[in-house]
Amino acid sequence: MKKVIITDLLILAVFGSTCFWSVKKDRLTALVDKILTEQTSEDEEILVLTSSNLAKKNGQIEETQMSENADKESEENTTKDYIKWVDFTVSKFALTESYEYDRDTYGTDRHISWIDLLAWTAAHTGGKFGDDRTVCKCMEELEMEAEAGKKLEELTEDLEYFPYYREVYETVLGGMVGEYEIEEPDAQGRKVTQKRYGLKAFHPIAKGFPYTDYDDFGASRSYGYRREHLGHDMMGQVGTPVVCVESGYVEALGWNQYGGWRIGIRSFDKKRYYYYAHLRQGFPYQPELKEGSVVLAGDVIGYMGHTGYSTKEDVNNIDQTHLHVGMQLIFDESQKDSDNEIWIDCYQIMGFLYRNQSETARNDETKEWRRIYEMKDPAAEKYERTLDFSMYP
């Protein structure tokens, strides 16, 4: 009986112990699960917070970068505050009057450049030059003030638009007047080099060759697409020598479906681009010319023709033989080949330049025309000339 009781007690002890540790185990497991759950939640919260902070930080960086880019763009736009449009209306009369005063007073205390005279006049007339009497009155007023000893800076300090017109006319005319050397015949017909101050730009048609023209700037053109005529046409004969207006370098040479055979010459200061188009079929320009070649005002660069209006090279699809002369202004290099190009009406300028035509002679062996009297332009001294003048004595 005693053994039975002991055995039962042992069984109860084992069972109780098992139940106790089972409950403990369940509680312990629940506690561990709770801890792990809370830890996971905390980690997720930390991860979320960290991601949020990172996103916020990245957003701040991106915003800062955008702000910096905007500031940089704004700074660039501020730096590139240049003239974007020009309406050049200076008359041949005004060009002549201002130039002659400039030339005649050069080297004296009363000297005023023709650009300053034109800018002064434009500042008083709103850029209009249609009334010759008003033009004379304005120029004479400035000339009298200069002869009285007054300085230009003092006279123009209250003229709001004088700086604008001065910059525009300097860009248009800046390379046309100055000091230069040129050969001239003496009494015995020998060539003598003379130093000069005055007009060193030339008319684009060589002396002695007939042509006709009228102001056709802005006329409608339809080949390829409807557009305005951005140049000046001079009608003449096939083979007429085409002369370089201003010293510079060849920037474009070859075929263009609109202009046919054409030459583009850039002034040394890069402010003007002269475009000579529709040159002669088969022999459009001097054979030694290439992109980068330096040419002087008065040099024969090509020959009049009627090529163009064709994607195929060396085709005469222009009805009338003529030279197209275009003049583009560049205040910023971004304007050169863009939708913001500035082409001006150069009809009055060409009429003014008629007073200075280059005399030429034909080489019967090569069939080429060359200038007779060579010129030295100080603006070209730092550039290498590439034209061959071996035909000259």
Strands 177-185 and 191-199: what pairing?
Answer: antiparallel
Supply the pLDDT for residue 382: 77
Question: Is 391 contained in some domain?
Answer: no
C-beta of residue 247 within 8 angstroms of C-beta of residue 263: no
Range of the domain at 210: 201-380
Amino acid letter, 270: K
Residue of higher predicted confidence among 354 and 2: 354
Q: Indicate whether 244 and 313 sit together in one domain.
A: yes
Q: Which residues contact 268 (CB under 8 A, 6 or more apart)?
A: 175, 247, 248, 249, 379, 380, 383
Question: Is 115 contained in some domain?
Answer: yes
Bridge partners of 305?
322
CATH number, position 205: 2.70.70.10
> d(Cα 300, Cα 358) in Å, to the nearest integer?
8
C-beta of residue 22 within 8 angstroms of C-beta of residue 30: no
Q: How many domains does the chain have?
A: 3
- 320: helix, coil or strand? coil
Question: Is 50 contained in some domain?
Answer: yes
Q: Indicate whether 109 and 221 sit together in one domain.
A: no
Q: Indicate whether 139 and 282 sit together in one domain.
A: no
Q: Indicate whether 143 and 11 sit together in one domain.
A: no
Q: Indicate whether 104 and 235 sit together in one domain.
A: no
Read off the pLDDT of each residue in 351-372 and give the average, rounded to a whole number.
96
> d(Cα 387, Cα 371) in Å, to the nearest integer?
11
pTM: 0.78
Question: Is 239 contained in some domain?
Answer: yes
Q: Indicate whether 208 and 335 sit together in one domain.
A: yes
- 385: helix, coil or strand? coil
Q: Indicate whether 169 and 205 sit together in one domain.
A: no
Q: Indicate whether 246 and 364 sit together in one domain.
A: yes
Structure-token pair, residue 269: 């200061």
Structure-token pair, residue 119: 């800018």
> d(Cα 273, Cα 231) in Å, to the nearest integer?
12
53 band by pLDDT with thresholds 50, 70 and 90: very low
Q: Indicate whether 19 and 150 sit together in one domain.
A: no
387 band by pLDDT with thresholds 50, 70 and 90: low
C-beta of residue 125 within 8 angstroms of C-beta of residue 142: no
> d(Cα 318, Cα 259) in Å, to the nearest integer?
9
Q: Which of 52-56, 57-61, 175-179, 387-391 shows the highest mean pLDDT?
A: 175-179
Q: Which of 36-50, 64-78, 368-382 shows the highest mean pLDDT?
A: 368-382
Question: Is 74 contained in some domain?
Answer: no
Question: Is 385 contained in some domain?
Answer: no
Average pLDDT, the chain: 84
Q: Indicate whether 110 and 168 sit together in one domain.
A: yes
Bridge partners of 367?
none
Q: Indicate whether 121 and 24 sit together in one domain.
A: no
Whether the pLDDT of residue 76 is over 80: the answer is no
Q: Indicate whether 15 and 157 sit together in one domain.
A: no
Question: Is 271 contained in some domain?
Answer: yes
> d(Cα 199, Cα 206) in Å, to the nearest integer?
16
315, containing H or E segment: none
Question: Is 373 contained in some domain?
Answer: yes
pLDDT in tens, 198-248: 999 999 999 999 999 999 998 988 787 777 889 999 999 999 999 999 999
> d(Cα 345, Cα 229) in Å, to the nearest integer?
10
Supply the pLDDT for residue 227: 79
| CA distances in angstroms from 111 to 122, 138, 166, 233, 323, listed in the order given | 19, 16, 16, 35, 37
Residue of higher predicted confidence among 294 and 78: 294
| CB count in 10 Å sphere of residue 67 | 10
Residue of higher predicted confidence among 389 and 356: 356
For the chain, strand residue ranges (E) read 177-185, 191-199, 212-213, 220-221, 227-228, 232-235, 241-243, 248-256, 260-267, 272-277, 294-295, 300-303, 322-329, 342-343, 360-363, 368-371, 375-376
> d(Cα 299, Cα 206) in Å, to the nearest integer?
9
